[in-house]
Amino acid sequence: MGKVNLTLLLAAVAIVIIIAIALIFPLERLGQLYSLLLIFGGLVALLLRSIFAKEVDRRIIFLFIFVAVAAPLLFPITFSEKPTAVVKAVFDRVESLPPGSTVLLSFDFDPAMAPEVQPMANAISRHCLKKGHKVIFMSLWATGQALLTQSLTNTILPEFPEKQDGIDYVNIGYKAGNEGVLNVIVSNFEKMFPTDVNSVPLGEIEIFDDIRSCRDLDFIVSFGGGLPGSKEWVLFVGDPGGVDVAAGVAAVVAPQLYPYYPAQLVGILGGVKGAAEYEFSLKETYPDLKDMDTPGLKMMGPQTLAHIVIISFIVIGNIIYFRGRRKEKGQ
């Protein structure tokens, strides 16, 4: 009987404490606090358990990753960024081009890569339009065109109602043929893209008055890490056409592009971190954009926590390994 009473008492105290904290802290802080407590408490418990050389079930790892990713999405935790040189190089290039320069942005990715790549594509599109550059949008991926339409109609254009189709920007859409498309547009756009997505002939679009081929462009950014992607833009357009190219790619592909930086690639935005750094630079340079949507910065919360969880599990794994070896030796 006394045991039950004690449990009830403890439960009541716990509920009072939880309610008290809930009253003191706003919901967002509360969510952050509880999820962090959950993650780090759990990790410490697993760490202690690892001393007995007990392996962790993969489902427990999955659970931790789930909480580490979901919690900061529900209760955003944001960090300040320090742009690395590879990202700053791209930002500075867009910034230093004189207004009215023509920039081509190619959306070469699919929905799977979109969470990583679309934020940076949106940020750079925004930056170019803000600077007054003329922007040509296109895609080498069939699925990229739909995402491009999505970016333009939902995110970019509503922020720039004064920009006119054909004068300030144009969407020439997707063309099948992978590297073959690049091989042609390096010397002639019209041959591959006779019209834009709205079936307006290229000859009637003001942006293309001075642009015959990729050689006439001032800057190209290719988003996406698949094939064809940034590497193909360098090999088939950047190098032969003498145009500056930058890349925005999924984090897993970034290491493959380092051989091209800085000689053949102006800079590289790798994954969510690259997007976050770019968004941070953009907000810092243009205070009036402080309210813009920054998915890159927001996603750094989940990324940071997930990395910490992974690092902790690597440590736990090693403790288990060494304890296990000692046990074997002892036997």
Partner 1 sequence: MKLSVFLFVLLLSISISAQDEPSDTDPAIIVPDSELVVVAPVTSLIAEDHKYDKGDHIDLSWVPSIDDQLLDGTVIGYKLYRSANGGEPVLVEEFPPGTNAFTDDGVYSDSTYSYFIAALSENYAAESNRTAPIAPEVEWLNLHRGWLFLIALIVGGSVLLFINAAKRGTKLFVRKIAGLEAVDDAVGRATEMGRPILFIPGIRDMDDVQTLAGLTILGRVARVIADYDTRIFMPTSRSLVMTAGRETVKAAYTAAGRPDKYNDDMVTYYTDEQFGYVAAVDGVMVREKPATVFLLGAFFAESLILAETGNSIGAIQIAGTARPAQLPFFIAACDFTLIGEELFAASAYLSGEPMQLGSLKGQDVGKAIAMLAILVGVFSATVGLAWDIEFFNDIVEYLSDVFSAR
Partner 2 sequence: MRRAIPLTILAVVGTVLIVSVFLPPLENLGEDFTLFFDIIAVFAFFLGGGNLVRIHFNKLWRKRKDWGFSIVTLFGFFFMLVIGLLKIGNPGGIGADPTAEGSWFQETFNYVINPLQSTMYALLAFFVASASYRAFRAKNREATLLLLAAFIILLGRTPFGVMLTAWVPESWSIAQIPNLAVWIMNSPNLAGQRAIIIGIGLGVVSMSLRLILGIERSYLGEDRG
Minimum Å gap between C-beta 19 and partner 2 is 32
Q: Residue 226 in contact with residue 113, Cβ under 8 Å?
A: yes
* Residue 69 interacting with partner 2 (CB under 8 A): yes
Instruction: Choose one: 34-42, 81-89, 161-169, 211-219; the region binding partner 2 (CB under 8 A).
Output: 81-89
* Residue 62 interacting with partner 2 (CB under 8 A): yes
Nearer to partner 2, 52 or 62 (CB): 62
3-state secondary structure of 233: helix
Q: Which of 45, 242, 318, 327 binds partner 2 (CB under 8 A)?
A: 318
* Residue 56 interacting with partner 2 (CB under 8 A): yes
Task: Please state, in angstroms and rounded to a whole number, the distance separating the CA atoms of residues 47 and 224.
Answer: 38
**CA 294 from centre of chain:** 10
Nearer to partner 2, 6 or 258 (CB): 258
Q: 9: which residues sit within 8 A by CB, 6+ positions away?
A: none
Closest CA relative to residue 89, chosen from 242, 225, 228, 257: 257
Residue keyed to tokens 């202690």: 48
Q: Scanning residues 192 to 211, which ones bind partner 2 (CB under 8 A)?
A: 197
Q: Scanning residues 164 to 193, which ones bind partner 2 (CB under 8 A)?
A: 173, 176-177, 180, 183
Closest CA relative to residue 266, chosen from 96, 84, 90, 95: 90
Instruction: Choose one: 53-61, 94-102, 229-237, 287-295; the region binding partner 2 (CB under 8 A).
Output: 53-61
Q: Which of 115, 157, 215, 239 binds partner 2 (CB under 8 A)?
A: 115
3-state secondary structure of 107: strand
Residues of the shown chain interacting with partner 1 in the complex, contacts defined by CB under 8 A = 58, 110, 112-113, 187, 210, 212, 226-227, 239-240, 250, 252-253, 255-256
Minimum Å gap between C-beta 50 and partner 2 is 11
Task: Provide the pairing of β-strand 245-249 with 169-174.
Answer: unpaired
Nearer to partner 2, 101 or 304 (CB): 304
Task: Please state, in angstroms and rounded to a whole number, the distance separating the CA atoms of residues 175 and 191.
Answer: 11
Sheet holding 219-223, edge to edge: 169-174, 134-139, 102-107, 219-223, 245-249, 268-270
227 binds, among partner 2, partner 1, none (CB under 5 to 8 A by kind): partner 1
Q: In whole angstroms, how far apart are CA 30 and each of 20, 22, 105?
A: 11, 7, 41
* Residue 256 interacting with partner 2 (CB under 8 A): yes
Handedness of CA 160, 166, 172, 91 (dihedral sign): negative
* Residue 145 interacting with partner 2 (CB under 8 A): yes
187 binds, among partner 1, partner 2, none (CB under 5 to 8 A by kind): partner 1
Chain residues binding partner 2 by CB under 8 A are 56, 58, 61-62, 64-66, 69, 79-82, 84-86, 110-115, 143, 145-146, 149-150, 153, 173, 176-177, 180, 183, 197, 251, 254-256, 258-259, 271, 273, 300, 303-304, 306-311, 313-314, 316-318, 321-322
